[in-house]
Structure 1
Amino acid sequence: MVLEELTVRLNDREYTNWLKAGRCLLILKTGLHPFTDHQMRAHHRDLLNQHALLSTPCETSSCKPIGNKLSSPCRVCSEWQKVILRHHRQPGATINWANCFPPHWRTDHWEVAKAYMPRGQAKVRRADQCDAAALLNLINYCKCFWSVDPKLVRQVIQFRNELMHSCELRVKDDWIRHYWRTLKHFVQQLSDVPQMATVGQQIEDMLTVDLSICVSGVDRVDSAGSLEGCESDFVSQLETSAEKVSQWETELLQEMLQEYLHVAAEEDGDAKAQDPEQLKRLQSFLKANKDLREKFSTELQAINSLEVKE
């Protein structure tokens, strides 16, 4: 039954496009983990070498944000705050200080990195715990990633947001073509990063593989050759089982649910108003598919609880 329902979903070409594109984001973040971690370690080390005060421990060990503001920080944390802003490409933009624990800025490079990310990163401790959006925003906003064109990063972020905030969970072939072209250019910017060569090939394989054949062995609705210019010599090497495709789908839907539920649970009223329609549509989609309804029963209960509170 699970396989049948998955096959039906994959016979919707635009849903399959959405699934492939989302899987590419998950592939991309695995390559960005070591790159961003290495860059931030080096940047953190440079900051400590350039500013003697930054090597001093927090004077109170209790400097922490209240809401999203860092009120009355000690002399050391105040200096860290100034340095972080100095290396921000848009210091006038909203800085999510609530992501950070300032007393750890001296010893933990990733606490510094989180100041350049979207909100919701307070419990994150390492690069490999971050999603693609967090890492892309870090690259976009922190000047230490000077080798990457920020305009190109913002294009990838825009595609990511369109994909993850898609009410219908569907994207057209033309969107996929532009998305693939942008990802290729972005990956090429990181050609000197060893992991990115593999990531680039995996993304190409994902966007050209025929998932409907992988699942059903019969249907050819999602034909790789129908996307002009999307050929790959390695597609035949990509062994994909129904279980693997189902796992990819689960991971992508899980990430969407976590993002929506986090926003919905925010105390900030403006934050709550951001994604109510998307969350309701996602809820309806999960309920309409028995296998997904069972798989995400806990998340559906959480959504129901939010509706009761409203």
Structure 2
Amino acid sequence: MVFEELTARLNDAGYKNWVKAGHCLRTLQEGLRPYTDSEMRSFHRDVLKQDPLLRQSCRGSCSLKGDQVSSLCRECLGWQRVILHHHRCPEVKVNWENCSPQAWRLEHWELAKAFMPRGLLRVKGAEQCDASALLNLINFCTRFHSVETRAVREVIQCRNELMHSCELRVDEAWMRRYQRALGRLLQQLGHVAALAEAGRQIKEILTADWSICVTGLPHLQGFVEPDSGSRWETNTESISRWEAELLQERLQELLHDDGAQGAEQLPRLKDLLRANRDLEERFCAELQALSAREAAGAVG
């Protein structure tokens, strides 16, 4: 039954494209994590060498809420100046609430989070960051001056379009644009081993057919037939897992989105989960939480 339901979903070309594009994004994310971690570790070390005064401890147990930066102690204000100096677009609002200022001198990733989207206060390292956070870091931090910002922003735009798709579908024209954007970015980062490998995997994902052949033979059940231009083979368990990871990420984003976009897209995602028994069983706890939230909203 699981194979049959997955096969039916992947027979929808737009939905299959959405899942494939999402898996490419997660593959890119895995390559970006060690790269950004290494670069920000070196950046943090260089900043401390350039200004030894930044090694001094925070004197006021400083914390930040929204734009409240005037209450920082002298030592933390020094770090704030460093962040603004190395921000490619200092006129853009910096998400200070991501940061624990007293940790800037100690943790390179606390410095990195100042260049990322909001909501990352509890994130402790690159391994906990999604592609959006890492791409924004590269886009805004001058440490990554060798990477063309246009290429980064094109991938960020594609990522936002993908994750904000109300129908969870993208067409072939969009996929071609996405592939070009990924190619331009990865070409600039080809000297990084993890990203060179990510690039090879992404090419294989995009050229694979993902046509599932469910037969009566147990040893063939769930085999994915690649197209003639690809040697990439996988199985339904892998595709099912990748699909679930993408749906989980989108569901969590929508659950934390109190705006109009979340209110519009969440029912569509919920309908998809409930219309497919395998997904309904996998996301049973999340669907119960949604029902409870809706009930509380109705009472309120």
The answer to whether the superposition gives a TM-score over 0.5 is yes
Question: What is the Cα deviation at residue 142 of structure 1?
Answer: 0.6
Question: What is the Cα deviation at residue 17 of structure 1?
Answer: 0.6
- 1:46-66 alpha-carbon deviations (Å, 9 max, x no partner): 111112221111112x21112
1:117 aligns with 2:111: no
| Mapped partners of 1:17, 1:67: distance in 2 | 38
Q: Match of 2:199? A: 200
Question: What is the Cα deviation at residue 215 of structure 1?
Answer: 6.2
| Mapped partners of 1:206, 1:215: distance in 2 | 20
| Mapped partners of 2:37, 2:277: distance in 1 | 40
Query: Secondary structure at the residue paired with 1:32?
Result: helix
| Mapped partners of 2:241, 2:98: distance in 1 | 30
Maintained 8 Å contact 1:263/1:274: yes
| Mapped partners of 1:169, 1:22: distance in 2 | 10
Question: What is the Cα deviation at residue 218 of structure 1?
Answer: 9.6
Q: Match of 1:269? A: none
Q: Match of 2:102? A: 103
| Mapped partners of 1:12, 1:53: distance in 2 | 59
Give the direction of change, closer, same or farther, for the CA distance of 1:38–1:148 in structure 2 (3 Å limit). same
Q: Match of 1:129? A: 128
Maintained 8 Å contact 2:213/2:225: no
Q: State the one-letter code of the partner of 1:45.
A: R
Q: State the one-letter code of the partner of 1:172.
A: D
Question: What is the Cα deviation at residue 68 of structure 1?
Answer: 5.2
Question: What is the Cα deviation at residue 166 of structure 1?
Answer: 0.5
Give the direction of change, closer, same or farther, for the CA distance of 1:215–1:109 in structure 2 (3 Å limit). farther
Query: Secondary structure at the residue paired with 1:213?
Result: strand
| Aligned pair partner of 2:282 in 280, 295, 302 | 295
Please say which of residues 153-162 and 282-291 is displaced more in the overlay: 282-291
Q: Match of 2:239? A: 245
Q: Match of 1:5? A: 5
Q: State the one-letter code of the partner of 1:263.
A: D
Superposed counterparts of 1:175-194, under 5 Å: 175-194=174-193
What are the ranges of 5 or more consecutive residues in structure 2 without an aligned counterpart?
none
Q: State the one-letter code of the partner of 2:200.
A: Q
Q: State the one-letter code of the partner of 1:3.
A: F
| Aligned pair partner of 2:250 in 252, 256, 280 | 256
Question: What is the Cα deviation at residue 114 of structure 1?
Answer: 0.5
Give the direction of change, closer, same or farther, for the CA distance of 1:156–1:214 in structure 2 (3 Å limit). farther
Give the direction of change, closer, same or farther, for the CA distance of 1:224–1:298 in structure 2 (3 Å limit). same
Superposed counterparts of 1:209-248, under 5 Å: 209-213=208-212, 224=227, 231=229, 235-236=230-231, 238-248=232-242
Q: Match of 1:151? A: 150
Query: Secondary structure at the residue paired with 1:158?
Result: helix
Query: Secondary structure at the residue paired with 1:275?
Result: helix
Question: What is the Cα deviation at residue 106 of structure 1?
Answer: 0.2
Maintained 8 Å contact 2:7/2:212: no
| Mapped partners of 1:276, 1:249: distance in 2 | 22
Instruction: Give the TM-score, by structure 2 length.
Output: 0.92
| Mapped partners of 1:167, 1:180: distance in 2 | 21
Maintained 8 Å contact 1:214/1:241: no
Q: State the one-letter code of the partner of 1:299.
A: E
Q: State the one-letter code of the partner of 2:250.
A: M
1:278 aligns with 2:286: no
- 1:193-229 alpha-carbon deviations (Å, 9 max, x no partner): 111111111000001111123667799x99857xxxx
| Mapped partners of 2:257, 2:100: distance in 1 | 21
Question: What is the Cα deviation at residue 71 of structure 1?
Answer: 4.7
Q: Which runs of 4+ in 1 moved over 2 A?
A: 66-71, 213-219, 221-225, 272-275, 301-310
Q: State the one-letter code of the partner of 1:297.
A: C
Instruction: Give the TM-score, by structure 1 length.
Output: 0.89
Q: Match of 1:162? A: 161
Maintained 8 Å contact 1:57/1:103: yes
Question: What is the Cα deviation at residue 105 of structure 1?
Answer: 0.4
Question: What is the Cα deviation at residue 304 of structure 1?
Answer: 2.5
| Mapped partners of 1:79, 1:58: distance in 2 | 10
Maintained 8 Å contact 1:58/1:74: yes
Query: Secondary structure at the residue paired with 1:70?
Result: coil
When the two chains are superposed, the root-mean-square deviation of aligned CA atoms in Å is 2.1
| Mapped partners of 2:249, 2:211: distance in 1 | 23
